[in-house]
Structure 1
Amino acid sequence: MTRRPTAFDLKADDVSHVRPGEAPLPDAAVIVEEAAETEDLPVPLPSARRRFPWSRLFFGAVAGILSLAIGLWLDQLVRELFARDDWLGWLAIGLIALAVLAVVAIAAREIAGLIWLRRIDRMRKRADLAAVRDDRPEAEAVVGELMTLYADRPDLAPGRRATEARVHDVIDGRDRLVLAEADLLAPLDAAARRLVSDAAARVSVVTAVSPRAAIDVIFVVVATLGLIRRLAALYGGRPGFIGLARLTRLVLTHLAVTGSIAIGDGLAQQLIGHGLAAKLSARLGEGVINGLLTARVGVAAIDVCRPLPFLERRRPQLSEIMAGIRAPRAK
């Protein structure tokens, strides 16, 4: 039996509005099924349109032209030297060979630094995921890779022996990572705190007594880059120029992402605590602020260079790092 179309008021008392998955009222004369809210539905993101890499083509063509120009210039130089005297030509060929050898060595070092950065980042992500899931096989693989990374470090030999002796007594995956963190990374973390504290102290003193702002900027940049390089070397890396630039970008990105943590990390308390010193001396206040910012960059660099995330060990706090730094006296 077909039902004839009927008009009814949606606001009437005997009309029951139900959504998908809900039961209607038992005494309802009319049941109206409503669609799901559009806000609850996933909105597909527009796919990025692939464009032709004109910029890469441009820089590749320019690099090819420069390579051809340098090659032709060297060829002409060697021919002219051979025309003058044979020993000058052979000397030029020997110097060119040494230059090519140096370029190959530099390129190999840069590639090794980039591979280390990728390896550390992948290891840290795998360890974090294994700790969250308590994945024993993945944790064993990460610990094995960590042991391989520090296999040629004599200063970590006691930690390697302790990890090998106790790792088979631990069943849970997270506990295996915690054990490796305590045995292998605890001494490195202590050394990293000292490096950051020393760098912050140097920046505070130099920028407090420096007579020119340009000297302050140059010294802070050099000290910050040197700190990042030393932290990378401490945790097992040897970044070259390109690797250091990439590592610095990762540190600054991490610092921008976790910048809000600085308020709870002791930065605000340190600033308030040194407020009186800043009022007494403007240069002294600038030195303290520069030291605090250097320490903040150092803490971010530890997070980026560390092969494991902080599991049971506490992340370095600015208050702890700056505790041993006394406010320098302005001259």
Structure 2
Amino acid sequence: MIGTPPPSGRRPAAFRLDDSKVRMSDDETRTPSLDEALITQALQDDEEPRLPRDASTPKTGVRFGKWLMIGLSGLVSLAIGLAIDSLIRDLFARTDWLGWLGLALVALAALGLLGLAAKELAALARVGRIDDLRDRLQQAAEADDARAASAGLKELLALYRDRPETAQGRKALAGHMREVIDGRDLVKLAERDLLSPLDLEARRIVMNSAKRVSLVTAVSPRALVDLLAVLYENLRTVRRLSILYGGRPGTLGFVRLTRQVVTHLAVTGGMAAGDSLASQVLGHGLAARLSARLGEGVINGLLTARIGIAAIAVCRPAPFVAGRGPTISEFMGELISSSEKAEKAASASQKRDQTARE
């Protein structure tokens, strides 16, 4: 780090690093004013010169796609409104009571649409609050900020105040908040006392989903059935985990959560890691004990478990501070054991059938 040379016409001056006049800047070409000092990043001899940040920032311009969507949605709305207006006029032309009945039904539909929109907006806001709460608790734990941690944990207690199964954990955490002064320790205690039962149930949800995917793909005769089963189980797991952790997403909130889970997998490389780990284990002896079909089911189950782990990270209202959270290795042993039992049960059933025929 170097200080930017003073502009011409200004005498050299000394500044403390905590002085409000000291500024950090990524732009080495910026000239400081007469009453400030700039600190910029110096290039090492072996470093490549960097382009300005504007070079990689998308320029805002006319968004024709947005215009297209607004125009099409407006036309569809007008078409629906004109169709309803024509229907009401036809009903009144036939008889008055049919027209009034049609108006009442339109009013009922409009009321339902407003209620549905309000519910979706509330669900989106709730999912957004959980994301914001997790980020703030993460920052509080990293900075060991007791005040920020207490504020975030109060919101966490409010999130679960209507959940009877969290009563004991909420009581314990409220007591810790009056006694513990370290922000990071408060977040750890919340994870242990309040969230650990929910984490245990989340692991059961992911494990059961992975087992179902593993067994269905092992016995299914068609690839399309496999695909539909995996898709259904993954979406169902994401929704159940969100409800478990207090999200209760609507349709739009569920779409947002699904996108976040996919983004989390892309950022962490989870799918590739899960596939590599599964292939490695299968190549070191599991393939010799299981049939090819059951081995494929185990891989699908492991990938489903990886998606569940990503969903836990996205839906959980607090970060994992005391531990790393669930890992794919925790699910692997149980999935392999379940597949081996299914293989033995299938073999025993085939032997009984063969004996009965003889």
- The interval holding the TM-score normalised by the smaller chain is 0.7 to 0.9
Gaps in structure 1 of 5+ consecutive residues: 1-34
The residue that corresponds to 1:291 in the other structure is 301
Is 1:262 the counterpart of 2:262? The answer is: no
Alignment deviations for residues 171-221 of structure 1 (CA, whole Å, 9 cap, x no partner): 111011111111111011000000000101111111111121111111111
Alpha-carbon distance between aligned partners in 1 of 2:281 and 2:131, rounded to the nearest angstrom: 31
Report deviation, 1:313: 3.0
| Partner of residue 25, structure 1 | none
- Report the Cα distance in structure 1 between the residues aligned to 2:332 and 2:99, rounded to whole angstroms: 60
Which residue identity does 1:221 align to in structure 2?
L
On the 8 A contact 2:274/2:306 being kept in 1, the answer is no
Which residue in 2 is equivalent to 1:27?
none
Bigger mean CA offset, 285-294 vs 228-237 = 285-294
Indicate conservation of the 8 Å contact 1:167/1:179, yes or no: no
Change (3 A) 1:59 1:231: same
Task: Report the alpha carbon displacement of residue 241 of structure 1 after superposing the two structures with TM.
Answer: 1.6
Structure 1 CA distance for aligned equivalents of residues 114 and 276 of structure 2: 44
- Say yes or no: does 1:121 pair with 2:131: yes
- Work out which of the residue numbers 112, 127, 152 in structure 2 matches 1:102: 112
Please give the per-residue CA displacement for 1:22-57, whole angstroms capped at 9, x wherever unaligned: xxxxxxxxxxxxx96483655322243211122111
Find out whether 1:147 has 2:154 as its counterpart. no
- Please give the per-residue CA displacement for 1:213-263, whole angstroms capped at 9, x wherever unaligned: 111111111111010000000000111122111111110110111126936
Q: CA deviation at 1:273?
A: 6.0
Distance 1:250 1:271, change over 3 A: farther
Q: 2:287 aligns with which of 273, 276, 296?
A: 276
Residues 134, 287 of structure 1: CA spacing in aligned structure 2 closer, same or farther, 3 A cutoff?
Answer: same
Mean CA deviation greater in 292-301 or 160-169:
160-169
Question: Residue 265 of structure 1 contacts residue 317 of structure 1 at CA under 8 Å; is this kept in 2?
Answer: no
2:60 pairs with 1:50: yes
Partner of 2:190: 180
Contact in 2 for aligned 1:170/1:176 (Cα 8 Å): yes
Give the superposition deviation at 1:102.
2.3
- In 2, Cα distance between equivalents of 1:266 and 1:136: 39
Corresponding letter in the other structure for 1:205 = L
Summarize the alignment of residues 132-171 of structure 1 with structure 2, pairs less than 5 Å apart: 132-171=142-181
- The TM-score with structure 2 as length reference comes to 0.76
Q: Which residue of 1 aligns with 2:10?
A: none
Aligned to 1:32: none
| Percent of aligned pairs sharing the same letter | 50
1:267–1:318 contact (8 Å) kept in structure 2: no
How many residues get paired?
A: 296
- Match of 1:219? 229
Q: Report SS of the residue matched to 1:222.
A: helix
User: Runs of at least 4 residues of structure 1 off by over 6 A?
Assistant: none
Report which of the two structures shows the higher radius of gyration computed on alpha carbons. 1
- Of the three residues 161, 186, 205, the one matched with 2:215 is 205
